[in-house]
Chain A
Amino acid sequence: MNASVVVAPILVPLVAALFGALGPRRPGYQRTVGLLGAFGLFVAAMGLLASVFVEGVIAVQIGDWPAPFGITLAADRLSAAMVAATGLVAFTVVLYSTAEIPDDVVTAGFYPFVHVLLLGVCGAFVAGDLFNLYVWFEVMLLASFVLLALGSGRAALTSSITYVALNLLASAFFLIGVGFLYGQVGTLNFADLSLKLGDPAALDAARPAALLLLIAFGIKAGVFPVFFWLPAAYPNASFAVSALFAGLLTKVGVYALLRVFTLVFPLEALGLAPGLLAVAAATMASGVLAAASQAHVRRILSFHIVSQIGYMVLALALVTTLGLASAVFYIVHHIVTKTNLFLVGGLIARAGGSEQLDQIGGLSQRRLGLTMLFAIPALSLAGVPPFSGFFAKFFLIRSALEADAIVAVTFAVVVGLLTIYSMAKIWIEAFWKPAPAETHLDEPLPRAALVACAMLAVVTITLGVGAEALWSFALATAEQLADPQEYLNAVLGDPT
Chain B
Amino acid sequence: MNVLLALAIGTTFGIAVLWLLRGSLWSLLLGLALLGHASHLLIFVGGGLAVAAPPLVAEGALAPAAGAADPLPQALVLTAIVIAFAILAFALVLAVCAGDAANTDDLDAYGGESQ
User: How far, in whole Å, are A134 and B43 apart by their CA atoms in the complex?
Assistant: 13
The A/B interface has a contact count, at CB < 8 Å, of 109
B34 → chain A closest CB, angstroms = 10
Closest partner residue, chain A, to B75 (CB atom): A131
User: How far, in whole Å, are A176 and B76 apart by their CA atoms in the complex?
Assistant: 12
With A154-B101, A157-B94: A162-B42 Cβ-Cβ less than 8 Å: no
B83 in contact with A154 (CB, 8 Å): no
B83 in contact with A165 (CB, 8 Å): no
A183 in contact with B90 (CB, 8 Å): no
Please tell me if A135 contacts chain B, counting CB pairs below 8 Å.
yes
B35 in contact with A161 (CB, 8 Å): no
Q: Which residues of B contact A149 (CB under 8 A)?
A: 94, 97
Q: Which residues of B contact A176 (CB under 8 A)?
A: 39, 42
Please tell me if A175 contacts chain B, counting CB pairs below 8 Å.
yes
Interfacial residues of chain B within 35-49, with CB under 8 A of chain A in the complex: 35-36, 39-40, 42-43, 45-48
With A182-B76, A236-B112: A157-B98 Cβ-Cβ less than 8 Å: yes
Q: Which residues of B contact A131 (CB under 8 A)?
A: 76, 79
With A159-B111, A168-B87: A180-B79 Cβ-Cβ less than 8 Å: no
User: How far, in whole Å, are A233 and B111 apart by their CA atoms in the complex?
Assistant: 9
A155 in contact with B39 (CB, 8 Å): no
B25 → chain A closest CB, angstroms = 7
With A161-B25, A162-B110, A179-B42: A142-B87 Cβ-Cβ less than 8 Å: yes
Closest partner residue, chain B, to A165 (CB atom): B28
Please tell me if B68 contacts chain A, counting CB pairs below 8 Å.
no
Q: Which residues of B contact A157 (CB under 8 A)?
A: 94, 97-98, 101-102
B12 → chain A closest CB, angstroms = 12
A100 → chain B closest CB, angstroms = 17
Please tell me if B50 contacts chain A, counting CB pairs below 8 Å.
no
User: How far, in whole Å, are A135 and B87 apart by their CA atoms in the complex?
Assistant: 12
Please tell me if A417 contacts chain B, counting CB pairs below 8 Å.
no
Count of A residues near B, CB < 8 Å?
38
Interfacial residues of chain A within 286-312, with CB under 8 A of chain B in the complex: 296, 298-299
User: How far, in whole Å, are A74 and B35 apart by their CA atoms in the complex?
Assistant: 31
* Chain A binding surface, main DSSP class: helix
B90 in contact with A158 (CB, 8 Å): no
B32 in contact with A168 (CB, 8 Å): yes
Please tell me if A194 contacts chain B, counting CB pairs below 8 Å.
no
Which of B25, B40, B87 is most buried by chain A, counting CB atoms within 10 A of its CB? B87
With A161-B25, A178-B76: A232-B35 Cβ-Cβ less than 8 Å: no
B43 in contact with A154 (CB, 8 Å): no
A146 in contact with B90 (CB, 8 Å): yes
| Range for the number of chain B residues in contact with chain A | 35 or more
Q: Which residues of B contact A175 (CB under 8 A)?
A: 36, 39-40, 42-43, 80
User: How far, in whole Å, are A178 and B79 apart by their CA atoms in the complex?
Assistant: 13
Please tell me if A436 contacts chain B, counting CB pairs below 8 Å.
no
A438 → chain B closest CB, angstroms = 24
Which of A159, A160, A161, A232 is most buried by chain B, counting CB atoms within 10 A of its CB? A161
Q: Which residues of A contact B114 (CB under 8 A)?
A: 155, 235-236, 296, 298-299, 355
> Which of B25, B83, B115 contacts A155 (CB under 8 A)?
B115
Q: Which residues of B contact A145 (CB under 8 A)?
A: 87, 90-91, 94
Please tell me if A486 contacts chain B, counting CB pairs below 8 Å.
no
Closest partner residue, chain B, to A149 (CB atom): B94
Q: Which residues of A contact B59 (CB under 8 A)?
A: none
With A155-B115, A158-B98, A158-B111: A182-B90 Cβ-Cβ less than 8 Å: no
B17 → chain A closest CB, angstroms = 10
A154 in contact with B115 (CB, 8 Å): yes
Interfacial residues of chain B within 47-73, with CB under 8 A of chain A in the complex: 47-48, 72-73
A158 in contact with B48 (CB, 8 Å): no
Please tell me if B86 contacts chain A, counting CB pairs below 8 Å.
yes
Please tell me if A141 contacts chain B, counting CB pairs below 8 Å.
yes
Which of B39, B72, B111, B112 is most buried by chain A, counting CB atoms within 10 A of its CB? B112
A160 in contact with B47 (CB, 8 Å): no
Interfacial residues of chain A within 475-494, with CB under 8 A of chain B in the complex: none
Between A and B, 22 residue pairs with Cβ closer than 8 Å are A135-B79, A135-B83, A142-B86, A142-B87, A145-B94, A154-B102, A155-B113, A155-B115, A157-B98, A158-B102, A160-B94, A161-B28, A165-B32, A168-B91, A172-B36, A175-B40, A179-B42, A182-B72, A183-B45, A183-B48, A235-B114, A236-B112
Give me the 3 closest cross-chain CB pairs, A-B, nearest first.
Answer: A159-B112, A183-B46, A179-B43
